Amino acid sequence: MVQGQESRLKIGAVARRAGVSVDTVRYYERRGLLGPAERLPSGYRVYTDAAVATIVLARRLQSLGMTLEEVGGAVRAHDGGGATCASQRGRLEAVRERTRERVAELVALQERVEAVLARCDAGRCELGGPARPEATAPG
């Protein structure tokens, strides 16, 4: 290969190298995370190695909890050469805040479930129909 010339990869090769499905490659292209692919006369899409790197980066950012919109912004900053830890910190802090909120919601849910289970254990189950006569105290 000539120096400075990137290989041209069909969509299946891009998907395999990036560890995603062909549908994911198409989806990322539709969502603007990847630039439009070059088309061969046969209609096949062809990509460069940079597309593989972009998909790998996007997947990593998604695994950190970033939304697709946040991923898009981070990828555009990266591709534009302006991405630094400092410039991306706001996106990561937003993820951290959402994660904290979700953890708090899950803790509250767990506490509610534990309370219902405790009432069930005490014979005051809230999940069934009317209390069965053998479960009620004599009045």
- Report the C-alpha gap between 139 and 136 in whole angstroms: 8
For the chain, give every domain's residue range. Answer: 1-83, 85-125
Class of 1-83 in CATH: mainly alpha
pLDDT single digits (tens) 9-45:
999 999 999 999 999 999 999 999 998 889 999 988 8
Radius of gyration of the chain (CA): 26
- Cβ atoms within 10 Å of 72's Cβ, excluding its own: 17
| pTM confidence score | 0.73
**Closest C-alpha to 91, from 54, 50, 58:** 58
pLDDT single digits (tens) 102-137:
999 999 999 999 999 999 998 888 887 555 545 555
Cβ 71 vs Cβ 40: under 8 Å: no
